[in-house]
Structure 1
């Protein structure tokens, strides 16, 4: 019987939404979170909407997963752990390597070390994995069938050739990534998420704890950070539009992602907590639909009713992938999960919420300058 649940990183976007829905279902929630300035701002206790949304509804511990003391205090008495605490920017991970590894890998290792070596009541651990572990994903070659292309090279992209091709230069057909697809991340962030997932799936069964991994696609919705320039294309574009700065699109605008609405992600995660069919399994969580970046930009402009120029720059970030969308066959069959929000419906709720928020400073150029100085933005 799972009653008490620890959510690490539970004041973040996904974690806070999950915490609120779980408390509504009668669970007793503990949140461990360091209230990172990058996500919550400089005065989070007073100004972070995400933190304030859960403040009086959960037991809150301000701390970090890199502290044994904080983790031990948080884990005591828990029946389950949902492990969200992580650094999450793909581009940023390529130059903040020690920080991403310390939080994502070492933080997970420390949690597992406590679970293995100290008495506890934890019965299940849910790990937030990521579509980033698939790297450039799964394709169909006209002669060879299913193939997994290598990462795109800087030399190719400098010529304006952004599509993924196989080593014989054949044009490939994009396929949805299923859970048995090849794991070959192209960023430090992706590598750390792969490492988190593999450690939890390997260690937990040895101590009688059921592990569940969810490979989330691009999660969005009301409440996500509008000020973090390192992650969240919908927030970044929204800031550009509302500041009348115009949208600058990388590559050729045809790169695509699977955008999954926050409510669907929360529902899938709760199914993993409550359904024993999830135990020991890995699941994709998405919509199963790829939406290209140009469509995203035009949809947001229409939704806000603010006409700004859209410029395709041809710039690119090393470590970014070209396409990815999820094969949902497994999660539908094992957990009965069906996404309720398509892109059009989700974007309407997202933009209606954004229009009620203060206009945020557009900090994208600062983050790009950091990447450019490291030779990672071209």
Structure 2
């Protein structure tokens, strides 16, 4: 394979993948609409991410919801890496039509063209998400088995009880790593759309002679991440708050955890999926296999920025948020030989060193919170 199309290729993961593929001798085409939420105003002149790839890729300023843009982009391609998507978990709960149209509808247009029009595509890689697992996997001593708790309810969370519950079990569940065979039960519209994308691609592609690969990315971070998009993850959100001299409002009790995976590791894993036949027809977790709580994230950022920012553990919560989730990395290590190169401390050091070199962005986080409160999703 020589010619690679990356949808959303001007975004955070896509632009980093494009540059590494170019360095490896691939020819890269990017289809991206340069969304202002990600790239800011006047992105063709001001977007850090777009300017990294400008002049190095064939760039198509278009959208995955437009069939003619897809048709132009697919011409002559050997593989497609499909990143283009709306990505805010909280935002997805009140922009349901938009998330469905872009994530599900855009993927459907691509598959329809591949199924019905001449093309040279041999492989499709889809960016799935850890969000499809919902609350993840736990071990119950009481039942002596793995269990998959349902979404947390307002009844318990409003009283400050944020841990997951399972079918009336009285003993506390033990959090364990989520493997690829774990139950799929997303707790947000975003997660539902990612599940749908993955299933469509893994179902349709084999029937038309195309190898599908799905990567269920955990929380991706690193240099180049948008510092102005309030839906891009807590590392960027907290960094922007700190640099604006504002306090950090930590939801719940701060003990909720995520698996934070560094951008270079994500790119390396994705390239293995493109290049290795062993990846064909498979789904893989991409993370570190380590759970880090939000209090640790905030304190590490404050330490790295040498800041005196206040941390407020407010007990606020968002309906649809999960409590814990971290990846079991056994499958991707065994089949593709992938292990992450960066632990959280090393990765966050590189991230904060980059942030310090950037212009301080206005925090739009408060506006996003106000939106969610207005919709009844933020408590």
Q: What is the TM-score when the length of structure 2 is the normalising length?
A: 0.99
Distance 1:57 1:68 in 2: 25
Q: Deviations 1:27-78 (Å, cap 9, x if unpaired)?
A: 0000000000000011000000100000110000000000000000000110
Displacement of 1:324 after TM fit?
A: 0.4
Shift of 1:169: 3.7
Unmatched tracts of structure 2, length 5 or more: none
Q: Which residue of 2 aligns with 1:18?
A: 17
Partner of 1:161: 161
Deviations 1:70-115 (CA, angstroms, capped at 9, x unpaired) = 0000001100000000000000000000000000000000000000
**1:237-256 → structure 2 map (5 Å cutoff):** 237-256=238-257
Residue 261 in 1 paired to residue 262 in 2? yes
SS at match of 2:309: coil
SS of residue in 1 equivalent to 2:80: strand
Deviation, 1:276, is 0.3
Deviations 1:156-194 (A, max 9, x none): 100000011212143100010000000000000000000
**2-structure distance, mates of 1:248, 1:370:** 16
CA distance in 2, matches of 1:361, 1:41: 11
Q: Which residue of 1 aligns with 2:274?
A: 273
Alpha-carbon distance between aligned partners in 2 of 1:39 and 1:331, rounded to the nearest angstrom: 30
- Given that residues 122 and 211 in structure 2 are in contact (C-alpha distance below 8 angstroms), is that contact kept between their aligned partners in structure 1? yes
What is the RMSD of the two structures over their aligned residues, measured on CA atoms? 0.5
Supply the distance in 2 between the matched residues of 1:169 and 1:15 (Cα, whole angstroms): 43
Query: What is aligned with 2:122?
Result: 123
Q: Matches of 1:36 and 1:103 in 2, distance apart?
A: 12
Aligned residue number for residue 284 of structure 2:
283
**1:377 aligned to 2:359?**
no
Tell whether the 8 Å contact from 1:90 to 1:231 is kept in structure 2 after alignment: no
In structure 2, the residue matched to 1:219 is 220
Whole-angstrom CA distance in 1 between matches of 2:64 and 2:283: 23
How far did residue 155 of structure 1 move?
Answer: 1.3
- In the TM superposition, what whole-angstrom CA distance separates every residue of 1:330-369 from its partner, at most 9, and x where no partner exists? 0000000010000000000000000000111111110011
Runs of 4+ with >2 A deviation = none
Distance 1:357 1:164 in 2: 39
User: How far apart are 1:230 and its partner, in Å?
Assistant: 1.7
